[in-house]
Amino acid sequence: MHGRVAVLLLFVIGSVLSASLNKGTTGFNRKRWLIHGRPWHGLTPAPPAVFNPNVSPVQVITQPIDHDGSVSGTFQQQYWYNKQWHKKGGPAFLILGGEGPENGQWTGNPNLEWTSIGIKLGAMFFDIEHRYYGNSMPYTSPTSEQLKFLSSRQALADMANFIKEMNKKFGPFDKWIVFGGSYSGNLAAWAREKYPDLVFGSVASSAPVQAEVDFYQYLEVVELAFREIDPKCADNIHQSFVKLAKLAKTSAGKTSIKTLFNVCQDLNTASPDDITQFWGSIIGNFMGVVQYGGDNAGPYRTEVTPQVVCQMMNNKNYDVLSRLANVNVWSMQNNGEECVDISYDNYIKYMKDPHADRSWTWQTCTEFGYYQTTDSKTAGPFFGDGNGAFMPIKLSVEECTQIFGTAYASSQEVNQAIKDTNKYYGGAKNIKTTRIVFPNGSHDPWHALGMLDQYSSESPAILINGTAHCADMYNDSPGDLPGLTKARNQIRKTVWGWFNQ
């Protein structure tokens, strides 16, 4: 969920989502990039929109900026609720917002996994926005000093205060079940771990609970997914990157690349950081389609998938390098780009302005890492990089310092922060709290940092073969893989079973 390039580039989001942003620009285009694994819409795509008049208008709760009391200010945190299916004595179901804005949409769709579970139990549904995202801002334009109150620990304290206040306002509720996906899946698991007196159980979908500086496994899963989906396509991807890497070694080759891949800048005069941006951009065309491909969420279901990319990579009317360029053209068209901007300076300028990407980058620098690299001995060469130079960890860590300053995010502090996070929460090996469900998709690159070993029948670790990021959270569909249907049923039965003890 980087670095300069490690910023991780985005993948194309599909033409139906891209018309409104940066049409025809030649500067930094947010839609192209996965910034530390985060697409422009946040790590968990919104569910299919369903108009439901029973969803409340936006509400606010007053929260302290610092639950530890070092400052005395407060801010207004947004939330939504839906009492439509609530029955007397029923539980409260809370979905935690992650690194993006919320709008209450999760509470109004009766066909989602969590609503289908809660409706049977007569639950009331709540959706709360994460501090420093959307409109839940302690500061309008937070400086690095003001960002220090952005952390998972503060967010969990927000949740605890929220539960207490909602018990006064609507309850009391005998049981709270907390849900989340991706980073907010971490929060869901940690909510049960750190606040067992308030949270009865949780479902932590696609939760990368192991913080890691060098997330080299990400691209290993991308490679594995393509090899499982279409071995011939995977071979063509590999061969195309080998040819591209060879071409990039000469001045004439770089000139050809600029034309073939429609790069804004001259690669022969580009800085090393710009070149890293280039590799991240081209590799990124293959990352997002794996991360979300097949999810029942907008274009990810059928339009932005590995299978669509493989149609281009297997097209025998073109040589393999031209096929790679065609995938890039597809991405450019969907993102509204005239050319691919690889300027690292443009990226840094973008990241110094307050917005959700800056907030998420702060959290990666001060808590999680998650820096996707080509350091893998298998996935690096798969993408034409034999020595980890295309997306190196060093540049990802240095980005923290360049954006936030040495006082907040030096290399030493970044590495220590990730160690502290794993020590505090337990990582993927030392969470032993009961009543937490850990669903993960085998094609989701983030599952490599998830809880994969089951330690209790009350806390199943469910690996869903062939599915992507947060796939279990969405509507059932006739085209769902059998493993996904089975997993959703297991999740439902597990949560329902908690209420029969």
The token duo for 282 is 């081209």
Q: Are 435 and 202 in contact (CB under 8 A)?
A: yes
* Residue 11: exposure state from Cβ atoms within 10 A (0-12, 13-18, ≥19): buried
Q: For tokens 């049960």, what's the residue?
A: 192
- Catalytic residue, from 273, 295, 341, 444: name it: 444
Q: Which of 182, 206, 240, 331 is catalytic?
A: 182
| List 127, 459, 469, 472, catalytic entry | 469
The strand pairing partners of 81, in sequence order, are: 126
Spatial CA neighbour of 286 closest among 344, 218, 388? 218
| Residue of 280, 342, 330, 282 whose CA lies nearest to 305 | 330
Question: What backbone torsions phi and psi does residue 236 show, to the nearest 5 degrees?
Answer: -70, -35
Query: Containing H/E element for 18?
Result: helix 15-18
Q: Quick check: is 444 catalytic?
A: yes
Secondary structure (3-state) at 379: helix
| 36 among known catalytic residues | no
Beta bridge partners, 95, equal 127, 179
On the CB side of 390, CA atoms within 13 Å amount to: 31
Count other Cβ atoms within 10 Å, centred on residue 420. Answer: 14
Catalytically annotated residues: 182, 444, 469
